[in-house]
Each structure stands twice: as structure tokens, then as C-alpha cells.
Amino acid sequence: MIYFNNAADKEKLFYKLPKEFNRFSGKDILEYSLGATLYMPSTKNIAEKIINKSLTSLTSLVMCFEDSIDESELENAEHNVLDTIKLIKKAVIENTLTNSDVPLIFLRVRNIKQFIDFTKNLDISDYEIITGFIFPKFDDTNAELYLKHLSSINEGLNGFCIYGMPIFETERILFAETRKEALNSIKTVMLPYKKYILNIRVGGTDFSSKFSLRRPDFLTLYDIKTVSACLGDVLNFFTRYDNEYTVSAPVYEYYIKVGKNSSSDNGKSSFFTDETETIHNTMIKEILLDRHNGFFGKTVIHPEQIRYFLAFQPVTKEEYDDALLLNSSGKTGILKSNGENKMNEVSPHKNWAKKIIKRAEIFGVIYDRNSYEKLL
């Protein structure tokens, strides 16, 4: 997979093109490559679209056994996922698909028992198709159970890894009186298994529900203070430069509906003139806040959201030049930026520079900010 491989005029927009990756790339590449991860019920038939390559911008997806289906549907859902793996595996064997054509596929298990029971149905060739599992309601009460079983799966593999992605969404993590103890305990439990943890995900909608809240389409999740406080603490615990995990941003739960508006009978709205424009602008604001607060990747629930996320992920040439300057310097002190418009201080900015260079490998480097709109 290569981000923006089908973008119009990409040679004119990009100073440096993104690099290719696939399910067998190293963890240091994959953890930053998830991009916009599309969630869907595990009852959904997705194999044909993958084989036909009709979802051109899709790079990672989740087939969910948990909240998106009723418990009565679980058996059928498991059969569907096994059939999906079988069909994709057959297409790879027959060279209808290459490894780079197959998106990163994750299975969101229902609970620890279902995780253990379902994996009894999988063999090594199946694990070559899926990239990993997502663990819901993950906290210090069940972390060890999930991670021990994940580790046991990897003991039987050779040359590649099956990854885990915990979801932080429980009250122990959200509520102030237990949050720091829970996060610290989780971090301690996760440390021996860090090589298997590709990404940490955060359940913003679940967090909102604990306070009987649902953010409207004109506010970002950062405007909901009880939730944003928790997001800030998760980033504080898990994105520190000396023991860093990648953390993915929560979903933006509104769809873009082209042509739909909220005008009143006289053609004027007393609040917003256009629903689509409101959602468009709020989604972009949230995506930018995600990125500049330290999240890497985002959960999406509709294919239309993918292009919004991706458009704002490339690095600008100005950022890239600054990062290269900082990363190559063997000195401390202050370096003048190439654009002569900012201070580059080597010691405090070097960790930022390393992350910018990594982002540039995955999403490429655009000439300037005007290219974001053109990519969108």
C-alpha cells in the first residue's frame, strides 16, 4: 500500500512521495501506517471489495465482534470472518492480490473468552492475512489475560507478528479518582509485551456516554472537557519520548452528506447556513487537533471520512526541512530555519523532528499547506 498512490497531480503536490508498506513491514513502520482505520460489523461481507480493489484509499480495517453486533449474531459473524480470511488468502495464493493489496485487517474480539475460543479456528496461514486483534474495555482488570494469550499466539509464528491494539474506554480510565492508578498499572502490565502492541485506541463515544453526553456536529471532542481531560492523561502516560506508544484518535461520529443542508423556509438558518459545511469544518478542526496533540491515526466509521483524515497527514516541506536540520545537527543550541521564520532549538525540538521524519516516510512531504485542500 502507498498513501496517495492515485492522487491527481501527485508529482506536483509532493516534494517527497510516501513509501510503500504492507502487513509484513516492521512494527516501526506499521504503528505509524494505520491511517484512518475503518470499523465495521463482523457480519459485513468485505472480501469482494478487497479482492476487486474498489476501496482504493482503505489501508486498515476492523471487523468487530463486540458492540456493533448482537450476541445472537456472533456465530454467524465468526463464520463470516473465517470465510473472509479464506477468500483473501485464496486471492493471494492465486496472485489476484499481492500482499500490498491487502489492507491491515484487525479483529475486535468480544471478550477474553471469545478471543481464546476464536483463535482456535486459525492457523499460521490465516495469521498471514490478518494483522492483529483489538481488545475492548481494556484496563488493569483484564490486560494481563489479553496480552498473555496474544504472546502465546506469537510463540508459534516465525518471521512476522500478530499485534494487539487495546481500547481504553472503561470507567476506571475515565473517572478522575481511578484514572491515574489505572493508567499507571496498565502501562506496567503492557511493558513486557510492548513489541506486540501496535497501537492504543481510545473510545471517545464510550467516554462521552458515561456523562450522558453526545457532542454536537459543531464541536470537536476536545470541546467536551470531561472527555478531553481523559484524552490528555492518556497521551501524557503513553506518548512520552522515552517509552512511547502510538495512540490513535477517537472517531468523529458525523457523516458528510453532500447536498443536505439545514436551511429554514426562507432560505436562511438562524444558526448554521449549511450542515455539510459545519461538519466539514469541524471534522477538519478535530483532525488537526488530533495530529498536533500527538495522536497518530484515527478511527473512522464511514469511507467518506477516510479522505478527510488522509488529506491532512502529509508533512509540509517547511516542517521536513526543519526536521532534517534538527536531526542531522551534532550540536546543541539554536539553528535558524531555512524559511528564516522561526527558532529551531536542537534539544527541545529534536524529538519532534524524529516524529516528523517518520510521518514523512509514511504520508510524504507536500510543498506547502495549500496542498492540503488540493488533496481533500
Using DSSP, how many helices (H) and how many strands (E) does the chain show? 16, 13
**Which of left, alpha, beta for 95 (phi over 0: left; psi -120 to 50: alpha)?**
left
- Contact indicator for 109, 32 with CB cutoff of 8 Å: no
For the chain, which residues make up each domain, given as ranges? 1-18+315-376, 22-313
**Is the pLDDT at 64 greater than 70, yes or no?**
yes
pTM, rounded to two decimals: 0.91
| CATH number for domain 22-313, candidates 3.90.1300.10, 3.20.20.60, 3.40.1550.10, 3.40.50.740 | 3.20.20.60
Assign 250 a pLDDT band (cuts: 50, 70, 90): very high
- Residue 266 above 70 pLDDT? no
From CA 183, how far away is CA 289, in angstroms rounded? 23
Query: How do residues 298-320 score in pLDDT, each as one tens digit?
Result: 999 988 899 999 999 999 999 99
The C-alpha atoms of residue 144 and residue 138 are separated, in whole angstroms, by 10
Mean pLDDT of 97-118: 96
Mean pLDDT (the chain, rounded): 91
pLDDT exceeds 50 at position 264: no
pLDDT at position 338, please? 75
pLDDT at 79: 97
Q: What is the pLDDT of residues 185-243, one digit of tens each?
A: 999 999 999 999 999 999 999 999 999 999 999 999 999 999 999 999 999 999 998 88
365: which residues sit within 8 A by CB, 6+ positions away? 14, 15, 16, 314, 315, 316, 317, 320
H/E stretch holding 327 reads: helix 317-328
Give the mean pLDDT of 154-168.
94
Instruction: Look at residue 273 in the predicted model and tell me its pLDDT.
Output: 54
